Structure 1
Amino acid sequence: MKHLPIMLLGALVLTACSHPAPEAPAAAKPAPAASVAKTTSEPAQAKAPPAFTPPAESAIPTGPLGDEIRRGMAIFTDTPEHAHDYVGNGLSCSNCHLDAGRLANSAPLWGAWGVYPQYRKKNGRVNSFGERLQGCFRFSMNGKAPPLDSDVIVALQTYAWWMAKGAPTGEKLAGAGYPKQGFKPPQPPDYARGAAVYAKDCALCHGANGQGQQVAGRNVFPPLWGPQSFNWGAGMHELDNAAAFIKANMPLSRGGTLSDQDAWDVAMYMDAHERPQDPRYAGDVAATRAKYHDTPMSLYGTTVNGHLLGSGTAK
């Protein structure tokens, strides 16, 4: 079994808190610093990507097209309510793509629409935008993929198309995705440091146990691990994705206030907890890691504090 040694800690959608730092669990063995340590030489950027501002919600047209755009927005912001047949947890698209998919540096919809179709290493083939949305349901929502011609996929694609109206196609826009370029921690991520960051900056919203907060059965703040969170196949389980999202956007409304090190440490803490199984799992954690998770950014199939991650969701 391949281990990813490091002292680990992490979190996803964070907000300041006065809870005391939890007692640090037994540390995992430190991983080679080269796996995530900051490098001294980084490639020079060619030209700055073009900037883009999506249209205001008030600009949604009237008539059938506007109705479909609004339906897509409703699915995006309350996915369990409007796409309940395809979700397996309580998460909504807007939990990771903030401000109804509008906010720069939180993988906004307007930044994704124009770069598809594209080849995705995750499944080894060219994907349409609709297929990319299907993957979100399968992994982030821990559910099942709606058919490409379903009302759900059509509405979401219509919303994304409208959000990107006027944007150049075929090139990455400023603020698209999560800002990962050159974003490396000064030191290898550490679980114990991450636990302290989580208690201070995340637990107020996401709870000391990482299970979020609900009102009337709906998530106000999403669970970051456990049975109702994203599964081991979701992109947010990878340390670089989680750290970049956290750095840019968390604590909520205070993005950019955590240090690079704190963002990586708390991402480690979050991603070192159990969550639902990768749907591509074929009965063996080691084989699943070798096939889909063989990267220092994934903790799946590694042992942290005596627990083999991917071996079962801790309730």
Structure 2
Amino acid sequence: MKLLAVVPLLGWLIGSPALATTIAMEDQSQLQMSTAAQSANTPFQPPHENELPDNAYGKLVMQGYALFVDTKRLAPDFVGNGLNCSNCHLDQGRLPNSSPLWGAYPMYPAYRKKNDKVNTFAERLQGCFQFSMNGGTPPAADSHEITALSVYAYWLASKAPLGVELAGRGYPEVPQPTKGYNLAQGAAVYKDQCALCHGAEGQGQKVGESYVMPPLWGKDSYNWGAGMHRINTAASFIKHNMPLGKGGSLTDQQAWDVAAYVNRHERPQDPRLVEGSVEKTRLKFHANDGVNLYGQTVDGVLIGQGIR
């Protein structure tokens, strides 16, 4: 069965407070990358489409795949901007160092500092809809959308070890340069390396009503609650994956500079906005959330006011 191209352990924590307090669960840092994963020269290889069975399971995997690459069109009630899942998880969620699904699925359930709770994979997907997709109320955990996307992720990870942090799992960290980032240099990098695809004003590119290149700021981009608003996260993604097809061609400094330039522009408001206050929201959610500009004043303008 071929995937069709889409147009446009358990009880040990219960009742054991003493043991629970000894377990460090800070964004999955309790799980160490295996020696095999660290030394592997060849990244994990997810299954091929010709391995899919021609049955209900295979059909649901295909539906999840379709939702993943064409999210805006197929899940319009839950996507409030111009993005698809595949804009941040490249090559249909397969590409190493682009937060591939095969690296994410086996690591859940897991604690997330972002919402201070242990999340299921379904809850993790819901967060993507709420923040990266700026979708407001996300699909229910038992909805067709979450089920299909979960099954697609499970299939890609079906040959992966459980709870092992595989090489290429996320966006490998790019340390902040000694002198920090430079917005003016970032503007120059953007003009030379990014504007051709994403537009001079970060508006992306459309064919008809559908984006073929995602917007990076403005009303159709990710909101201020999305992980990509962190300069360090965006820099890591950019360093390993951009410009498209030329990942690794930018220096660490260039990646940080252009990430800061992109994320100094306005985008939809953080849906967790506290009492209508950017400052209160910054203090509660952004002050200790990586390197970001939310709630800061840049060139005399308060960043994080949001855009409609």
- TM-score calculated relative to the size of structure 2: 0.85
- C-alpha distance after superposition, 1:1-48 (max 9, x if no partner): xxxxxxxxxxxxxxxxxxxxxxxxxxxxxxxxxxxxxxxxxxxx9835
Alignment of 1:273-292 (within 5 A): 273-282=265-274, 283-292=276-285
User: Counterpart of 1:70?
Assistant: 62
**Structure 2 CA distance, aligned partners of 1:309 and 1:290?**
14
Q: Does 1:225 find its partner at 2:217?
A: yes
Matched, 1:312 2:302: no
- 1:97 corresponds in structure 2 to 89
Letter in 2 for 1:87: V
Match of 1:260 among 224, 233, 252: 252
Contact 2:81 2:220 in 1 (8 A): yes
Q: Which moved more, 1:218-227 or 1:290-299?
A: 290-299
Helix, strand or coil for the counterpart of 1:188? coil
Offset, 1:83: 1.1
Deviation at 1:52, TM superposition (A): 1.3
Post-superposition Cα deviations, 1:251-308, rounded to whole Å, max 9, x if no partner, equal 0000000000000000000000000000000211100000000035121000111110
Residue 128 of structure 1 corresponds to which residue in structure 2? Answer: 120
What SS class does the counterpart of residue 191 from structure 2 fall into?
A: helix
- What residue identity is the alignment partner of 1:307? V
* Residues in 2 aligned to 1:60 and 1:131: alpha-carbon distance in whole angstroms: 26
Residue 165 (structure 1) shift: 1.1
**Partners of 2:180 and 2:198 in 1: how far apart?**
25
Does the CA-based 8 Å contact 1:289-1:300 persist in structure 2? yes
2:19 corresponds to: none
> Which residue identity does 1:311 align to in structure 2?
Q
**Superposed CA offset, 1:139-193 (max 9, x none):** 000002100000000000000000001100112111001001x633242101000
Secondary structure of 2:197's partner? Answer: helix
Distance 1:48 1:204 in 2: 40
Number of matched pairs: 269
CA distance in 2, matches of 1:80, 1:158: 19
Say if 2:154 is the partner of 1:161.
yes
Aligned partner of residue 162 in structure 2, secondary structure:
coil
Q: Secondary structure at the match of 1:202?
A: helix
* Map 1:27-106 → 2, pairs under 5 A: 47=35, 49=37, 51-106=43-98
Contact 1:48–1:174 (CA under 8 A) maintained in structure 2: no
Runs (5+) with no aligned partner, structure 1? 1-44
State the distance in 2 between where 1:266 and 1:220 align: 21
- Structure 2 gaps of 5+ residues are 1-32
Counterpart residue type for residue 216 of structure 2 = L
- State the Cα distance separating 1:60 from its structure 2 match: 2.1
Runs of 4+ in 1 over 6 A off after TM superposition: none
Q: TM-score, normalized by length of structure 1?
A: 0.83
Q: Matches of 2:207 and 2:216 in 1, distance apart?
A: 17
Partner of 1:175: 168
Any conservation in 2 of the 1:178–1:244 contact (CA below 8 Å)?
Answer: yes
Give the deviation of 1:215 after TM superposition.
0.2
Partner of 1:147: 140
- Look up the equivalent residue of 2:190 and give its one-letter code: Y
> What CA RMSD, in Å, does the superposition of the two structures yield over aligned residues?
1.4
User: Residue 197 of structure 2: which of 185, 202, 205 is its match?
Assistant: 205
Q: How far apart, in 1, do the equivalents of 2:202 and 2:237 lie?
A: 17
Q: Distance in 1 between matches of 2:296 and 2:84?
A: 28
Please give the secondary structure, in 2, of the residue aligned with 1:220.
Answer: strand
Find the aligned partners of 1:312 and 1:96 in 2 and give their Cα distance. Answer: 21
Percent of aligned positions that are identical:
57
1:207-242: CA deviation from partner (whole Å, max 9, x where unpaired): 000000000111110000000000000000001110
Specify the SS of the correspondent of 1:219.
strand
Which of 138, 141, 163 is matched with 2:130 structurally? 138
Is the 8 Å Cα contact of residues 140 and 234 (structure 1) preserved in structure 2?
Answer: yes
1:303 is aligned to: 297
Contact 1:186–1:261, Cα closer than 8 Å, also in 2 = no
- Shift in Å, 1:63: 1.2
Partners of 1:191 and 1:146 lie apart in 2 by 37
Q: Is 1:247 matched with 2:235?
A: no
Describe the superposition over 1:102-152 as per-residue Cα deviations: whole angstroms up to 9, x where unpaired: 000000000000000000000000000000000000000000210000000
2:229 maps to 237
- Relative contact order, CA 8 A, sep 6+: which one is greater? 1
